[in-house]
Structure 1
Amino acid sequence: MKSFWSSFIFLLFWSPIMGDNSGEFLNVENNTVYSSIAGLLKLLKLEEIFITNIKAYTNKLAEKVKNLQAYIDSVDYEFQQSFEDREKYVGNPINAFSLVRRTHQDLPKWHNYSQQIVGIEELFALEEIIDKIPDNKDMEYSLGKMHRLEQIYDLEAIELARGRIQSKQYNFRPSIRDCVALGEHKFKREEYQRASMWFRMAIKHEPEGNAEIINSILGDPKVKLYTLYAKSMLIFGMIKSNPSMTIAEAKKISYEALSKASLADVKSLLNELLSQTDDEIVYEMNVNKTKPSDYEIGCRGQFLGRRNHVCSYNFTITEFLRLAPLKQEVLNWDPYIVIYHNVLKDDEIDKLKQHSNDNAAEVVNPIEKRIFQRINELTRLSFLNQLIVSKNGPGTQKHIKEYSKGTLLFFVSTFSFAIYIYISLLNNVELGGATVFPKLKISVFPQKGSCLIWYNTPDPRSEPLECPVLQGNKWGT
């Protein structure tokens, strides 16, 4: 990260996250409504309100059906009678009178009742909810976040479809429609290997409950699914077997081949592909796979351990540290990178969270001074009196360089330094969320209330990148 100042320090307090600050992708989070955890929680609440109104609406419909059924049951004759029986029925004077009275007095009232609109309140509420649902931009952004997570962490569709993330099993699985949407997104991006695996998982997905009814409203997700799977596998296979072939050439050949092939030939191809196990397919597709970048290796926690890693208690810099020493870990000596543990206390973290909002908000409360003093003790620098809290959602991206735009910027009053603070406020990250120094091959995973410090001089080795968190939520100041 290049500096406009003579020297500055990057301070990072970190903890659990589901946010992403990779330096390899464009940040579009600010242009979407449902990119942050807070936004996603609002969306979850919106869906809950929608379902609540649907339930209320169906209850009122059921009540109306029950009432109309009572009218049907009140008619004391069977409809599918013979002509003789019907003639005998109206030949009875009591029945004849009752028929005239019912059709004159009761039938118009039942007609009026049947025309009454049920659940007007709920229908209006549903209309208001529809106005707030994610738009195409939100959908594209969400698909992009999933794509980044898959790419950075090398996540396989077969594992995600089973609810597994980095060998950890969760109690959720994507639906068949989720698999199709992810496959179509990758197909449009010409990521045919990943697209084919999502299409494969959709084909092998267990049938939905009430699939016939749901498909009549939402559409059948398997329409064109087999064709898309065949296309993506053919294109990927041709490019893999002939690296000099362009994607455009592979697409043209595969499309022409499928258009000329008989239905039996296509079915034979699909049966052959689907007869292989998922593991066999993944193994074959990953032969000669592109080597991951140092950033991706760091995010995956695959850097080798460092020999010059030193742990100790620091009680020598200031009077404060002599009285209350902090545990420090020196990760690198040149350039200097160090972690201080337990810099923030739980009660301070809770209070900071209380003063935050969706993405970033100024925190004005007495704990500011305590935090500033503590940081000053570590850095021997003085800050202006400003603290900003931010909260990142799943897969969101803010480059560390972007903090200079004001999100997390501190100006030092006595020096021409820019100082950045990032404080995590929740529990330790379950999966992902590391800060990576790719050129030094160092990964630092989030730890609640700890502080990562390095002198961010123009030395390119100290340029950091943040990794997306796979499980949790990330707060920072």
Structure 2
Amino acid sequence: MIMVPNLNLLHVICFALLFDLCVRTHAELFTAIAEVEHLLETHKRIIDDLDFYIDKEEKRLSTLKRHLNLYKREHEKAMEDIPNYLGNPINAFTLIKRLTTDLDHIEDSIKIGTEYIKNITMNHEDVKYPALEDLTGAAQALTRLQETYHLEVKDLSEGLLNGVAYSSPMSAGDCYELGRALYNEKDFTNARDWMKEALRKLKEENVPYAFTEVDVLEYISFSYYLLGDTRSALEWTQKLLAVDPKHSRAKGNVPHYQKSIAEEELRLRKQRRGETGEEPPEEKPAELSAYAKERKAYEALCRGEVDIPLAMSKRLTCRYMTENHPFLRLAPIKMEMMYLNPDIVMFHDVISDGEIEMVKRMASPRFRRAVVHDPKTGELVPAHYRISKSSWLKDSESEAIARISRRVSHMTGLSMDTAEELQVVNYGIGGHYEPHFDFARKRENAFSKQGGNRIATVLFYMSDVAQGGATVFTELGLSVFPVKRAAAFWLNLHPSGEGDISTRHAACPVLQGSKWVSNKWLHQSGQELLKPCNLEYQDESMIRPIPRPVPKTSR
């Protein structure tokens, strides 16, 4: 019988009790960078309380001071530029880790001390604790960034994002907890890689941890086994036994691994001799599924590796827009064509810094995890493929919001009569929204009571993003990177009213920075005289010929 790695039941129980005591525990903090900012208040309280405790008690200073110095150093970095600090996914992950599993390790080191800390911090009104879900979400975000942007685990652990050092290196403990969180989520490939990094750093650091080299080796070996690589599982188990020859689970696993390897070798020998009656499998090149093809295109677009064809790009222009409304003759809007047929436009400098700050201030207290429409029920539900928090603002709440809506009408030439409220979104750690349509498909009933389908989208960018966070159109091969104060605009429907599937788009994971956007969705009702229907019927399968995107490496 295979023995799984010991997950330390006592450790888990203590951890659960700690969080059960914290009545202000908030899950889903990882879904918006703005929410993670609140953890710095908790961070500061813990620093102050640890300082007071150490001055008063002066016991077990080596362990406590190590934690304290780390907290102080990182907190000072954070307070220099909070959005930029938390916009780094590594910093966000390690902050959550310090306020989850690290607190448990402090409790193990000096139980009286952490009881004191918890009792004091629980009396502060502004304290929030992250939950285990936040730690898991942050861990999954790092692997999502790693896979989308082709980042090396070693670079990430050293605080490097695409060759730029944005944060302090991660410790062996950081890498271990990240690997453990991924292992518990059954992401054994990434768990194995992070445990290997934890092992490397553990050998370099001369620091005591609550885990040992044996613990790390056990995770690595069993991850290999669960991935179907029994030979590597045996190799790493033997490394474990070289460190701890009496390890009972490892000793029990070795014969099982050896038996599995011998049986597989026998089966292959018989198959080669034709004794099994089985024909050797014919080698065929694997064909990518439609999802895999789109995923590949999506990730390449996120990395900025694709250009639109020269025949298209040379026809794109920039100009001042003065039509649609008489006001634009006095204050023309800078208009940049990003794509033609379907027309995708970027309007520049159409929302001011003051309006942005007001929108963020009004929206933040109402933030809820962003949801999507369930195509079967039409209900709004959370989804793993959309990591952000959002809220909605009405025109009637503020003249600034009403002014933004009027500006949308001026820019687009469309009516706001059936437009949705302004949706404000802040993306979380590695925040993203996988490829989707803004309009409802025929089988969906999402907008049946909202003035018809969504005819158009206006997407305001309310922050610059240092790396990542592009809006990409997977059918068109177009990447639109955030530009603060600008707004992207496109029509979602053909003139017949059918959905235009070439407008399928996605929000790429945020690699560095805090991405703020706001959406204004306009509906069909009220546009009859502004955007009359075409008499020629078009269904959503009648996608127009689209020039194929060009990989940048091909030039």
Partner of residue 465, structure 1: 506
Contact 1:361 1:388 in 2 (8 A): yes
Partner of residue 446, structure 1: 482
Q: Give the 3-state SS of the residue equivalent to 2:359 in structure 1.
A: helix
Partner of residue 175, structure 1: 171
Partner of residue 300, structure 2: 297
Instruction: Write the mapping of 1:48-447 to structure 2, written as runs, cut at 5 A.
Output: 48-62=44-58, 124-126=119-121, 132-187=128-183, 194-205=190-201, 211-212=207-208, 215=209, 219-229=210-220, 249-251=228-230, 253-255=231-233, 263=241, 293-307=296-310, 308-309=312-313, 310-318=316-324, 319-358=326-365, 359=367, 360-362=391-393, 364-384=397-417, 386-398=421-433, 417=454, 419-426=456-463, 428-447=464-483
After TM superposition, the structure 1 stretch with the greater mean CA deviation from structure 2, 143-152 or 304-313, is 304-313
Partner of residue 241, structure 1: none
Cα gap change, 1:150 to 1:123, in 2 (>3 Å): closer
Contact 1:341 1:450 in 2 (8 A): yes
Task: Please report how far the alpha carbon of residue 135 of structure 1 lies from its aligned counterpart in structure 2 after TM superposition.
Answer: 2.5
Give the total of aligned pairs.
353
- Percent identity of paired positions between Structure 1 and Structure 2: 26
Contact 1:315 1:323 in 2 (8 A): no
Cα gap change, 1:410 to 1:453, in 2 (>3 Å): farther
Letter aligned with residue 216 of structure 2: L
Letter aligned with residue 441 of structure 1: G
Task: Please report how far the alpha carbon of residue 261 of structure 1 lies from its aligned counterpart in structure 2 after TM superposition.
Answer: 8.0
Contact 2:462 2:515 in 1 (8 A): yes
Contact 1:57 1:119 in 2 (8 A): no
Task: Please report how far the alpha carbon of residue 456 of structure 1 lies from its aligned counterpart in structure 2 after TM superposition.
Answer: 0.9
- Cα distance in 2 for partners of 1:203, 1:260 equals 15
- Cα distance in 2 for partners of 1:331, 1:227 equals 52
After TM superposition, the structure 1 stretch with the greater mean CA deviation from structure 2, 457-466 or 186-195, is 186-195
Cα gap change, 1:125 to 1:202, in 2 (>3 Å): same
Cα gap change, 1:400 to 1:320, in 2 (>3 Å): farther
Task: Please report how far the alpha carbon of residue 229 of structure 1 lies from its aligned counterpart in structure 2 after TM superposition.
Answer: 3.8
- Cα distance in 1 for partners of 2:215, 2:114 equals 38
Q: Give the 3-state SS of the residue equivalent to 1:396 in structure 2.
A: coil
- Cα distance in 2 for partners of 1:410, 1:159 equals 45
Cα gap change, 1:35 to 1:201, in 2 (>3 Å): same
Do residues 456 (structure 1) and 456 (structure 2) align?
A: no
Contact 1:399 1:465 in 2 (8 A): yes
Any stretches of 5+ residues in structure 1 without a counterpart? 1-29, 66-116, 236-246, 268-287
Q: Give the 3-state SS of the residue equivalent to 1:54 in structure 2.
A: helix
- Cα distance in 2 for partners of 1:317, 1:147 equals 47
CA deviation string 1:275-313 (max 9, x = no partner): xxxxxxxxxxxxx9x997000001111102442231221
Q: Give the 3-state SS of the residue equivalent to 1:447 in structure 2.
A: coil
Task: Please report how far the alpha carbon of residue 464 of structure 1 lies from its aligned counterpart in structure 2 after TM superposition.
Answer: 0.8
Q: Which one scores higher on RCO, CA 8 angstroms, separation ≥ 6?
A: 1
Task: Please report how far the alpha carbon of residue 451 of structure 1 lies from its aligned counterpart in structure 2 after TM superposition.
Answer: 1.3
Contact 2:179 2:195 in 1 (8 A): yes
Normalized against structure 2, the TM-score is what?
Answer: 0.55
Contact 2:188 2:227 in 1 (8 A): no
Contact 1:298 1:443 in 2 (8 A): yes
Contact 2:218 2:237 in 1 (8 A): no
CA deviation string 1:45-85 (max 9, x = no partner): 2122112112112222249x9xxxxxxxxxxxxxxxxxxxx
Contact 1:412 1:419 in 2 (8 A): no
- Cα distance in 2 for partners of 1:395, 1:182 equals 15
Contact 2:460 2:485 in 1 (8 A): yes
Cα gap change, 1:225 to 1:375, in 2 (>3 Å): same
- Cα distance in 1 for partners of 2:194, 2:503 equals 38
Normalized against structure 1, the TM-score is what?
Answer: 0.63
Q: Give the 3-state SS of the residue equivalent to 1:454 in structure 2.
A: strand
Pick the aligned partner of 2:35 from 18, 32, 39: 39
CA deviation string 1:109-166 (max 9, x = no partner): xxxxxxxx9999756214668x953332222222222221112112110111121101
- Cα distance in 2 for partners of 1:266, 1:62 equals 35
- Cα distance in 2 for partners of 1:469, 1:169 equals 16
Any stretches of 5+ residues in structure 2 without a counterpart? 1-25, 62-111, 246-285, 287-291, 368-390, 441-445, 494-498, 519-555
Cα gap change, 1:306 to 1:221, in 2 (>3 Å): farther
Contact 2:339 2:345 in 1 (8 A): yes
CA deviation string 1:327-348 (max 9, x = no partner): 2222221222121111112222
Letter aligned with residue 471 of structure 2: T
Bigger Rg, structure 1 or 2: 1
Contact 1:399 1:466 in 2 (8 A): yes
Contact 1:314 1:321 in 2 (8 A): no
Partner of residue 98, structure 1: none
Contact 2:343 2:490 in 1 (8 A): yes
CA RMSD of aligned residues (A): 4.1
Task: Please report how far the alpha carbon of residue 354 of structure 1 lies from its aligned counterpart in structure 2 after TM superposition.
Answer: 2.7
Task: Please report how far the alpha carbon of residue 171 of structure 1 lies from its aligned counterpart in structure 2 after TM superposition.
Answer: 3.3
Cα gap change, 1:167 to 1:118, in 2 (>3 Å): closer
